[in-house]
Structure 1
Amino acid sequence: MPARPHLTVWYNTKCPVCNAGIDWQTNRLVQAARAGVIAFRDINLEPEALARFGADVEAVRRRLHGIDAGGRLLVDADCAIAIWRHTPGDAWLATLLGNRLIRPCTRLAYDHFADILYAWNRRKGHW
Structure 2
Amino acid sequence: SLEDIRRRLHATDAKGRLLVGADVAISVWKVTPGEGWLATLFGNRVALPLTRFAYDRFADLLYAWNRHKGRW
Bin of the TM-score, shorter chain as denominator length: over 0.9
- Give the distance between the partners of 1:107 and 1:79, measured in 2 at CA: 10
Q: Could you tell me the percent identity over the aligned residues?
A: 65
Which amino acid in structure 2 is aligned with residue 77 of structure 1? A
Structure 2 alignment gaps of length 5 or more? none
**Runs (4+) of structure 1 moved beyond 4 Å?**
none
Give TM-score, length-normalised by structure 2: 0.95
Match of 2:62 in 1: 117
**Residues 1:102 and 2:27 aligned together:** no
Deviations 1:9-65 (A, max 9, x none): xxxxxxxxxxxxxxxxxxxxxxxxxxxxxxxxxxxxxxxxxxxxxxx2211100000
Give aligned pairs, total: 72
Give the Cα–Cα distance (whole angstroms) in 2 for the partners of residues 85 and 125 of structure 1: 34
Q: How far off is 1:67 after superposition?
A: 0.1
Structure 1 or 2: larger helix share? 2
Q: Is the aligned partner of 1:65 residue 2:10?
A: yes
- What SS class does the counterpart of residue 59 from structure 1 fall into? helix
CA distance, structure 2, for counterparts of residue 60 and residue 87 of structure 1: 23
Q: Give the structure 1 partner of residue 19 of structure 2.
A: 74
Three-state SS of the structure 1 residue aligned to 2:12 is strand
Q: Where in structure 1 are there 5+ consecutive unaligned residues?
A: 1-55
1: distance between equivalents of 2:12 and 2:5?
Answer: 13
- The two structures, once aligned, show a CA RMSD in angstroms of 0.8
Q: Distance in 1 between matches of 2:2 and 2:12?
A: 15
Deviation at 1:86, TM superposition (A): 1.6
AA aligned opposite 1:73: L
